[in-house]
Amino acid sequence: MASAQPTRRLRRPLIVGNWKMYKGGRAGIELAEACVGFARDLRDVDVVVAPPYTALAAVAETLDGSPVSLSAQNLYPASEGAFTGEVSGAMLEECGCTWVIIGHSERRQVFGESNALVADKAAAALRHNLVPILCVGETLKERASGETLGIVERQVEAFLDIIAQSTKPVAIAYEPVWAIGTGRTAGPSEAEEVHAAIRSWLFKKDPALADRTRILYGGSVKPENASALLACPNVDGALVGGASLDAASFGAIASAAAVTPAT
C-alpha cells in the first residue's frame, strides 16, 4: 500500500545538470563526453544534462546510445507559431530531448514567469513526451517571514491538476532561491521538511503520484554536501547548477546518489 512517507528506495535517484548559459559549442560536447564517461560506471542512478539550446543537437549526438539523457532548460507552450525567440516542446522532442526544466527560479525572477505560465509549460511538456522537471522554491525574504510552505504549496498547486491527470512521469525540484549559486545550501533537515510537505500534497491528490514522483533538491549542491542531502528519505536526487559544469564534481554527486544510504 502507498504511504504518505515512502522511502527513497521506491524511486531511482535522479541527478540533473543544469548548465544554464554556459558550455555552448565544443565545450558542451566535451562536457557531455566526460559525463558519458562516468555514467557508464554507475548503476542505479539516472543522469540527465541540460545544455543551452544551441548545444542541444550536438550534445544529443554525443549522448546517443549512452546512459545519459538530454534535457532542455525551458520551452514555450505552443507547438509552433509566431513567437520570436522561443522554442517549442515539439522542437525539443525532435532534437532528442526527453526532459525539460520548467519554472526555474531564474525564469520566474528574471523573466517574470508566473505560476500559470509554468502550468501551461508543464502541459506542453507532457504533450510532447518530455518529462518536466518542475521547479519551486521560496526567496530568502519569504523564508524569513515564515512563508516557505505557503509559497511552495501555491507553486505546486498551480500544476498539480495537470500532472495528476497524466500518467506520465514528472519530477519536481525544490530549489530555495537563496541557495542557488550562493554557496548556501539548505541543511538536510530544512530540505527534508519541504520535500516531505510536497510529497504530502501529491499524496492528497493521488497516492500513486506521490510514490512515483521524484523530488529533487537544488541549490549549491556539491560533492561535499550531496550525500547528506541525498540520504533524506524524501530527497530523490539533485538539480545541480555550478557543480555540473565540472565533470569530476558532477560525477562525484552522481556517485553519491548511486550509493544507497544505510537508513
Which one of 18, 71, 148, 225 is in contact with ligand PGA (CB under 6 A)?
18
The helix/strand/coil state of 30 is helix
Q: Is 195 one of the catalytic residues? A: no
- Residue type at 53 in one-letter notation: Y
What Rg do the C-alpha atoms of the chain give, in angstroms? 17
CB atoms under 10 Å from CB of 59, counted, come to 27
- In the window 77-106, what residues touch ligand PGA (CB under 6 A)? none
Q: Is 104 one of the catalytic residues? A: yes
- DSSP 8-state class, residue 165: S
Which one of 213, 220, 225, 249 is in contact with ligand PGA (CB under 6 A)?
220
Does residue 242 bind ligand PGA (CB under 6 A)? yes
Does residue 241 bind ligand PGA (CB under 6 A)? yes
Interacting stretch for ligand PGA, rule CB under 6 A, among 59-67, 79-87, 110-118, 240-248? 240-248
Q: Which residues contact 163 (CB under 8 A, 6 or more apart)?
A: 122, 126, 132, 134, 170, 209, 213
Does residue 175 bind ligand PGA (CB under 6 A)? yes
**Cβ-based nearer residue to ligand PGA, 17 or 77:** 17
Q: Closest-CB residue for ligand PGA?
A: 241
In Å, the largest CA–CA distance within the chain is 53
* Catalytically annotated residue among 93, 104, 128, 192: 104
Q: How many residues does the chain have?
A: 263
Take residue 51 and report the three cell numbers written for it: 545544455
Which one of 137, 218, 237, 251 is in contact with ligand PGA (CB under 6 A)?
218
Does residue 187 bind ligand PGA (CB under 6 A)? no
* Catalytically annotated residue among 113, 138, 175, 192: 175
Does residue 240 bind ligand PGA (CB under 6 A)? yes
Interacting stretch for ligand PGA, rule CB under 6 A, among 84-92, 202-210, 235-243, 253-261? 235-243
Take residue 9 and report the three cell numbers written for it: 528506495
Q: Are 240 and 197 in contact (CB under 8 A)?
A: no
**Cβ-based nearer residue to ligand PGA, 191 or 210:** 191
**Cβ-based nearer residue to ligand PGA, 210 or 239:** 239
Three-state secondary structure readout of 193-244: HHHHHHHHHHHHHCHHHHHHCEEEEECCCCHHHHHHHHCCCCCCEEEECHHH
Report, as residue numbers or ranges, the catalytic residues.
104, 175
- Chain positions contacting ligand PGA, by CB under 6 A: 18, 175, 180-181, 218-221, 239-243
